[in-house]
A and B are shown apart, each in its own frame.
Chain A
Amino acid sequence: MNMLAMEFRPLYAIFVPLIAAGLIYILGERIHQNIREAITLTAAALLMVVVYSMIPSVLAGNEIKLELFSIVRGVSFTLGTDPAGMIFACVASTLWLPTSIYSIGYMRGHHEKNQTGYYAAFAVCLAATMGLCFAANLVSFFMFFEILTIATYPLVTHYRDEEARKSGRKYLAYTLISGQIFFAGMVIIYVVSGSLDFVPGGYLTEAMLPGPWALLVFFMMIGAGIVKAGVMPLHSWLPAAMVAPTPVSALLHAVAVVKAGAFCTLRVILYVFGPKLARDCQGAVILAWMAVFTIVLSSLIAIRQDNLKARLAFSTIGQLSYIILGISILTPISTSGALYHIVAHAFMKITLFMVAGAIYVTTGKKNISEMVGIGKRMPVTMGAFALASFALAGFPFFAGFISKTNIIMGAIEAGQPMFVATLIVSALLAIAYLMPVVIIAFRNGHINPEFAQRGEAAPAMLVPLLIAVTLSIVFGVEPNAGLNLLEFALMAGKAVF
């Protein structure tokens, strides 16, 4: 490939899944389903290659900047590869392949209808996620953000029954309203500053947004992010959206969509407002306390959930607020921790969701109370669950430990003992809501006779979840393994402050 073609790699990252989506949708019903799935897998592998190929140049500090055309008057459609975006892109592209394999096992094992539309919408979601990772200004970002909103809708409403439709409406209500408010905020920012490009460290000043305006616009802008990231009290679409098939919950509601929300918050606070204005307008403090409140409350609610997916959903809400908290503490180390938590949480949570789905497809059980002794039947699956639970609670040698330590160090540096206490308490709460599942699963004694026979999930589901759990250990022992993700996180943290 010559140099010119290489420069267009961020665009390829968007178009590979997009073209795959088009092919799947158009050919879907006409070709054998194996060929249709082959398109997804090929695109996933290709996407991984494209994204990974950009790692060395970003690591060397040569960001690719691609100005394509004028998207609105005065603002061009620009793609760039900065370390923060690279982290998210690496995570999403790495996990698409295992999730696709898992999807095949799940959707076929469960005899789902409308699989073509499902795979196509999934690919569009990935394209939108890639787009918002690489978008280098707010309008381009918003475009992909809204495409992601719309493309997730058919996945949430996949079952098309009354419950799914209700969840879909709720999802749209939350995301569209916050999206439109974001839109208004974006226009205000453009009018006062004349620029929408992301700049590490931000570019807005108090002179542009005097007094209460700064706080107002701050919350208009992060509203969209914190809705998608499920910060309380704006979280209730997320548990409702769990009606979607489990692979959707796994990749979208643990990785792509919710993290797009966290990523949006990150871009707005650190690349538009900048740490100084965010601190001066009091927005960051309010947001940090919202995150603290969410972390504690969601963990408490999670303990009371019997439905495994619902419990994981509330756990997601809490974990996403770690990222929000890490960003709003506004220190370099906590920012790096927050960025690394995007990585860590993705691998840990996707494992947990994949286990929940595997249990559901193999045994038909959704509730934790029905899973007594399930470890006898599916020891490998439940073993993975146990490992991911330890990781989520932040045990050393797991990925979650590194990110949480960094956030805690940031909180200490910022002199916020309450945040430190919250993070420690929430680690204990995570043990409190995940360990019972493990204990119930491996309990001896009155075992459900259904579980007496050994029978793991189908390999198409088992292998991806083992990959995910392995990676969450690998990234805990050697955070820079292969992808240099911790390095990126530190680079981004340094660049911003």
Chain B
Amino acid sequence: MIQHYPALVVILPLCGAALSLALTKIHLHLGRNVIFLSMALSFYMSIMQLRNVVINGPMEYRFGGYAIPYSIEFRIDTVNGLVVAMVALMGLITAFYCISGEIRSEKLKVGGAYAVVALFVAGMLGNASSADAFNMYVFLEITALAAYCLIALGGNRGMVAAFRYMLVGTIAGTFYLLGVGILYSATGTLNMQDMSIIIQQGGKDEAVLVALCLMIAGLGIKSALFPFHGWQPSAHTHEERGSAALIAGVMVKIPVYMLFRFVYCVFGTNFKYMQQILIVLGIFVGIGMMYGSIRAIGQTNMKKLLAYSSITQTSYFMLGIVIGSPVALAGSLLHFIGDAFIKGGLFYCAGAIKYKFGTVNIDNFGRIYKKMPVTSALIVAGALSMIGIPPTVGFFSKWYIAMGAIQTGKYIFVILLIISSLLNAIYFFKIIEKIFMSKDKGLEDVRPVKKGELPWSMLVPMSVCIVVIFLLGFLNVKIINMVLPLLKGVGM
């Protein structure tokens, strides 16, 4: 049975999405519950699959059982096994979080919104599992289409942001597709392992270089890497509350993961132009780390602040790729997983505050810690992790990234990393100061909850995030040891 898990992890939410639309006709909550069930199962399977990968080595799943260049392949190793588990968990808790967004009074068919969330998650899971360049494009577009819907759910301004994102996202997708097309014509295969063997034989370096550049541009736009980040702040600001965590916390990370695959697993460090590519990426990353943090300092809208902070975080993941030593790659992977829960969690907080008080302007946050202790705790935990205070996960990921940078003699990135995390401290302590110390603005509870701070459907995902931020810190050695053998094979 376990050999089918790689496919089932992706297919379950996909089926859930399709089924729920029909089931909603029978009963309002039936469709929703089917989706929860499918996501919970998918998460369980992703964990079992990760365990299996750690014990028995990579899993390959060929659809239809055809031989390799002809069949679509899912390939799970420790790196994407972790990514899949992270996406599945975030998807599950975000679906829970979305319960609070249901409008109960009207006879709204809630199945639709859940179906989009499930589709979104399935797209990302597929993207992370796939070992086929074109298949990745398909999942990338599934994710993107679902994301347009989710952003558009955020009201009128959300609609505008979604349209803007759609234009940019389509261009990005096309860039990527062009890259895949060139690679296909140059190598005659779409399977990434196959492709890497052919590329490393050399001979068509210039052609595949163009493909790589197109892919970097396409995936850079999708992941809002500086200088391709223009679409991102407005999209993150206006998207629908529930899904914001998924879009900002997980979606923008998947293209970075793909880029890692292409740079290190397909092209490899021996590729003729790799040094030049990494230098260019290094410049992007260096500026992006500063730019995101500096822009975030000036924001008063919490969602926009977090959006700019995301640009910095994306640069941190890219930093691992730019440095390229196995330890740095492992560190950035740790940051990649940790940040999903940090950034996702902080978007949960922004959503929760909006839900309770109808505002995301941090100037209005005066002393809300008394009314929202869990939310405040998550903001503090997230902030400490972003700054890199032990024992949160942010410290450990920075430790490995800095170690990789020093081992390879790229001291400039250590300096930038430190400056950027101190800039993070400025805007996060600004929020903390508001929450704990500023004058109480006497915000009105727009949606009086009968008991407690927030509905449980919001508190549970937020508590999960707090736990995971510290748990990943304590488990960091396990995770690093898990992925390091693989990364040693591909890194510099």
Q: Which chain A residues have a beta carbon within 8 Å of chain B's beta carbons?
A: 69-73, 139, 142-143, 146-147, 149-150, 154, 157, 160, 164-165, 168-169, 172, 176-177, 180-181, 183-184, 187-188, 190-191
Contact = CB atoms under 8 A, between A and B. Distances in A.
Contacts of B422: 176-177, 180
Interface in B458-492: 474, 476-477, 480-481, 484
B418 interface: yes
Interface residues of B, number: 32
Contact of B429 (A71, A139, A169, A180): A169
Interface stretch (B85-93, B185-193, B281-289, B383-391): B383-391
A70 B399 CA distance: 14
From A71, A73, A147, A176, name the one whose CB has the most chain B CB atoms within 10 angstroms: A73
Interface in B288-331: 327
Given A146-B389, A183-B418, A191 B406 contact: yes
Interface string B389-417: 11100011011101100110000001100
Nearest to A26: B373
B418 A181 contact: yes
A72 B476 contact: yes
B375 interface: no
B68 interface: no
Contacts of B389: 146-147, 149-150
Contacts of B407: 191
Contact of A165 (B398, B437, B484): B437
B74 to A, nearest CB: 29
Contacts of B425: 172, 176
5 contacts: A69-B474, A72-B400, A157-B436, A165-B437, A184-B418
A73 B477 contact: yes
Contacts of A190: 403
B164 to A, nearest CB: 37
A331 B80 CA distance: 55
Contacts of B406: 187-188, 191
Interface of B: 327, 384, 387-391, 395-396, 398-400, 402-403, 406-407, 414-415, 418, 421-422, 425, 429, 433, 436-437, 474, 476-477, 480-481, 484
Contacts of B399: 72, 139, 183, 187
A180 B437 contact: no
Given A72-B476, A180-B422, A184-B414, A147 B390 contact: yes
A180 B481 contact: no
Nearest to A74: B477
A150 B396 contact: no
Contacts of B477: 69-73
A160 B384 CA distance: 20
Contacts of B390: 139, 142-143, 146-147
B433 A165 contact: yes
A424 to B, nearest CB: 41
B403 A191 contact: yes
In the A-B complex, the 3 residue pairs with the smallest Cβ-Cβ separation, listed nearest first, are: A143-B390, A70-B477, A160-B437
Contacts of A177: 422
Contacts of A184: 402, 414-415, 418
Contact of A187 (B402, B415, B474, B481): B402
A183 B437 contact: no
B75 to A, nearest CB: 26
A108 to B, nearest CB: 22
Nearest to A114: B436
Contacts of B384: 150
A471 B387 CA distance: 41
From B402, B421, B480, name the one whose CB has the most chain A CB atoms within 10 angstroms: B402
Contacts of B418: 180-181, 183-184
Given A146-B395, A187-B402, A190-B403, 6 more contacts: A73-B327, A177-B422, A180-B418, A183-B418, A184-B418, A187-B414
A142 B429 CA distance: 21
A143 B396 CA distance: 11
A72 B400 CA distance: 9
B339 to A, nearest CB: 18
A168 B390 CA distance: 20
B9 to A, nearest CB: 28
A150 B388 CA distance: 12
Nearest to B399: A72
From B396, B399, B480, name the one whose CB has the most chain A CB atoms within 10 angstroms: B399
B53 to A, nearest CB: 20
B362 to A, nearest CB: 15
A345 to B, nearest CB: 28
A427 B376 CA distance: 48
B414 A180 contact: no
A164 to B, nearest CB: 8
A160 B415 CA distance: 33
Contacts of A191: 403, 406-407
A183 B403 contact: no
A108 B437 CA distance: 21
A139 B402 CA distance: 14
Contacts of B480: 73
B433 A187 contact: no
Nearest to B419: A180
B436 A73 contact: no
B260 to A, nearest CB: 20
B421 A180 contact: yes
Nearest to A190: B403
A184 B407 CA distance: 12
A180 B406 CA distance: 15
A54 to B, nearest CB: 24
B205 to A, nearest CB: 34
Contacts of A176: 387, 422, 425
A169 B407 CA distance: 34
A150 B428 CA distance: 13
Nearest to B406: A191
A241 to B, nearest CB: 15
Contacts of B474: 69
Nearest to A161: B437
A429 to B, nearest CB: 36
Contacts of B387: 176
A158 to B, nearest CB: 10
